Chain A
Amino acid sequence: MKAFLCAMVGLVVITVGANLVLDQLPFSSADVSESKANVRLDD
């Protein structure tokens, strides 16, 4: 039971931690499929 509970806690920690780490990476999946580079919003 202890191993099961530790695994569940580990699951939550890894999931939240992974998101925090991935947010820090200089990579955005949105940026590779869309861009404002050739869109004029102010004209």
Chain B
Amino acid sequence: MLRLLAVFALVIGMMAPAYAQDDNGISRAQTGGAQTLDDILKRQDNQRVDDEFRRNATGDPDAGAPTDAPLGTRGGQSDAEMWRGVRFDSADIRSQQRGPAATTLIQDGGMWWLKFREGPLLIYGAALLGGTLLLLAIFYAFRGRIEIEGEKTGRTFTRFSDIERFGHWLLAGSFLVLGITGLISLFGRKVLIPVFGHDAFSALAVVTKWIHNNISWAFMLALIIVFVFWVIHNIPNRKDLVWLMRGGGIFGGGHPPATKFNAGQKIVFWAVIVLGTSISVSGLSLLFPFEFNIFGHTFATLNDFGVMGWVGLDPLPYPLAPQEEMQFAQLWHAVISLVLTAIIFAHIYLGTVGMEGAFDAMGTGEVEETWAREHHSLWVEEIENAKAKQQSKET
């Protein structure tokens, strides 16, 4: 009987922890306002945790009994409640320092940013760039170089003037340097420090940061130059749809008619202008910390329209702490730069090894007549019509 009781006690004892693990029936009110196992599991699974019970539990300084009264308290706010106010940025903090972020003593969103920056951003960024290079290599293996099909004439058309090519190379040169220095900054901690050590990377980081910050002005100037010179040629029209439907000649063979810039080049142009401007604006906000708070206002506007609800997501965070503005600017700057870099990989491929005769457009500015007739037949027509008009005027 005693043995039976001992076994029974053992079984009950073993069931107790299992019962404690299962808190599905326990509400937060039953825990006295503390977090539940469900909260902990959600946090471990990187899911959103409703923290209102802590965020709002910051006490009430006015509710405390006066200190001179019998059994008076030292205020209506415990230490824990005060620190919650500090953590969730609702405490009334004053500082001798007058910097924009001086009164944010704890920035709760910082860990999310750090984990994203050191995890998914690097993994998906590397996959995007590596995947693009792989796809281009596969395309080259199957399609080979796109040759000039007709017989070369030796005659040329002037495709780009000196100033246009100057703008292009200023943009290309600055973008390549910004890309390399940006990747060193982004991947340095995870990739370069383990290989070269902290001291060597520190020196490299100082130099790359200096170059990245200062060469960005050349990129922004070049962006304006190419926009001014080429926007008129890049306004979409109906012929672009035909070009796109034929995949620029991949489907159906032959070369679909195109003006000075075909639909593919127009996509690259607008990608460079729109994404390049976005990178520039977010870069300026990083260059002058806390001066341009662009994300808080943008999030508030998107929330007003309920944009996130259209795709079944929670509203975007608002208001943002000053540091959060910088963190979102850094993520946006990096993500858009990686996307533009992938697009530019394809552009560099087609402008060099991918297509015979294409590099001359930016090399000398003169392109072979047959190449021009094959790839930009409507542009050649425009030139010849203009020439004919000029000749008839002279005679």
Contacts and interface: CB of A to CB of B under 8 A. Distances in A.
Contact of A18 (B99, B169, B217): B217
A14 B221 contact: yes
19 contacts: A1-B364, A3-B162, A3-B166, A3-B168, A3-B365, A4-B165, A8-B169, A10-B166, A10-B170, A11-B215, A15-B217, A18-B216, A18-B217, A19-B210, A22-B213, A22-B214, A29-B289, A32-B100, A38-B97
B102 interface: yes
A29 B172 CA distance: 28
A16 B163 CA distance: 22
Interface in B143-202: 162-163, 165-170, 172-174, 177
B393 interface: no
Given A1-B363, A15-B211, A18-B217, A33 B289 contact: yes
B176 to A, nearest CB: 10
Contacts of B237: none
B288 interface: yes
A32 B323 CA distance: 11
A7 B166 contact: yes
Interface in B89-106: 95-102
B215 A15 contact: yes
- The secondary structure that dominates the A interface is helix
Contacts of A24: none
Interface of A: 1-4, 6-8, 10-11, 14-16, 18-19, 22, 27, 29, 31-35, 37-38
Interface in B248-293: 287-291
B215 A37 contact: no
Contacts, number: 81
A38 B103 CA distance: 13
B99 A29 contact: no
B173 A11 contact: yes
Contacts of B172: 7
Given A7-B173, A8-B173, 17 more contacts: A3-B162, A3-B165, A4-B363, A10-B166, A11-B177, A11-B215, A14-B214, A14-B215, A14-B217, A14-B218, A15-B211, A18-B215, A18-B216, A27-B288, A29-B289, A35-B97, A37-B96
A35 B99 contact: yes
Given A3-B365, A11-B173, A32 B290 contact: yes
Contacts of B163: 3
Among B95, B173, B363: residue with most chain A CB under 10 A: B173
A18 B221 CA distance: 12
Contacts of B99: 31-35
Among A2, A15, A34: residue with most chain B CB under 10 A: A15
Nearest to A7: B169
Contacts of B168: 3, 7
A18 B95 CA distance: 34
A14 B216 CA distance: 9
Contacts of B210: 19
Contacts of A35: 96-99, 102
Contacts of B97: 35, 37-38
Nearest to A30: B289
Interface in B200-233: 210-211, 213-218, 221
B203 to A, nearest CB: 18
A32 B168 CA distance: 36
Nearest to B290: A32
Nearest to A16: B214
Among A4, A6, A19, A22: residue with most chain B CB under 10 A: A4
A32 B291 CA distance: 10
Contacts of A29: 287-289
A29 B169 CA distance: 30
Contacts of B98: 35, 37
Contact of A19 (B170, B214, B363, B364): B214
Contact of A15 (B96, B218, B288, B363): B218
A3 to B, nearest CB: 4
Nearest to A8: B173
